Structure 1
């Protein structure tokens, strides 16, 4: 009998060893989306999650946690276990604006391991039909003629449109009047009603109104023309150098992800983004499949945050 218990112990260890050796993922993965269900950001996250699920043969379950300009969902993800079973899919402001605007936010850009940028969409400056503001030069001239009198609408203080407009003002040496709204729809509605002179919004939100003639584009904040608005010139083409503000979507995980899990996820995300059917679906949403690996993603987020920090400080957006 004295050999029985050691034998049982060894057998028990052997029985449990395979559970530790299971490759990632061995169980369902939670994909946190810090915006409400049904929007563009949510649609992209669900597309990526479905593709990862198909490739990795485990459920990738979308968990919508909206609120406080994405900080609620981002905080939840940042505090999760760093094992690859919680991912966060979100847009640029989560990393490059919110930590600057919300000093009490319970996460920072350093709270995550960066896995990759999967999509990008340019932003556009707009006006109403019949406006005398046809070009970037027109906007600059009008603002210089009446400093602080030329108004623009945004999604609110610290929103990406607010950052873009104030960055434009700083680059061109003008002053604009900010009129914040609770979202894209009221901002564009006010512009159509001539309550504001300008607005900055996403190409996706603006395109239907531009195509119907309800709004007029002035410039897109990207290096190339937008696929949905190929006729609209960029700010760069109109004399504002390096004026690029893509609203990209990235995938991150809580800081401390095991190296093998990080490498696996990064490789799978790259394969997903490069799949023709995914590129087609992203294009239909107004995004381009814009793969950047984790290292490039982190560098880009860091550079954009530094750029935005200057705007936040000089425009006093806190």
Structure 2
């Protein structure tokens, strides 16, 4: 006979997991009683055909899809939904994790995929082992040597687990985050102390609770074409060290002590005259000694 569920099987699974307070991506299995009737060719229930039964609903990999649905051949019922840790547009190492059942076997490939469908990195993964035998557990993995130029802030980045013999991979995704960027080289005056936050040009795009500090302050005590500093930016549990560069110009002529060639006149009087000699060389003035960063 035809059994018509009141709603899709995966929604029933979701409700049952919520009732049982089972965390997302955790294995689940439970039987439940159902009521049923026979139906005619028009999918109308036939009276006096009422019956009850038991059904064991299982999600052995915790991915939110019932195993009966996955066993149709689309996705692997022994591989959960993969996850990625935070990814920033400067990262060359990307970490992830996925639940793998002990019966999953080997030969699974974890792939990092950009929004265009290009595989950026790949590695083989297998169930964890204990005492030489596979166990059902969360498997952690990482991709190294990732080309960070392919990681564009605000783009979607996918992680997929491809299993032999299954048509579709298990998939997860995250949005690539924007990392702190240094201001372009600026000119400041001697003695000026640049602000750490304002030395990050995209600070308005970063989280409000981001923390900014000087790891190495730029030396602006002398005129120079280049002095460098390092700003440390802390965002959550991530820390970024950003190199910044400044040119330093004088804001006014430096104080000089002058000496003069004495001249003796008649009657005998000594005066200071002639061209003075300074104890320091002339210092050029900065053309743009000050700049306006904002208008209020």
TM-score, length of structure 2 as denominator length: 0.22
Higher gyration radius (CA): 2
Higher relative contact order (CA 8 A, sep 6+): 1
Q: Which has the higher helix share?
A: 1
Q: Which has the higher strand share?
A: 2
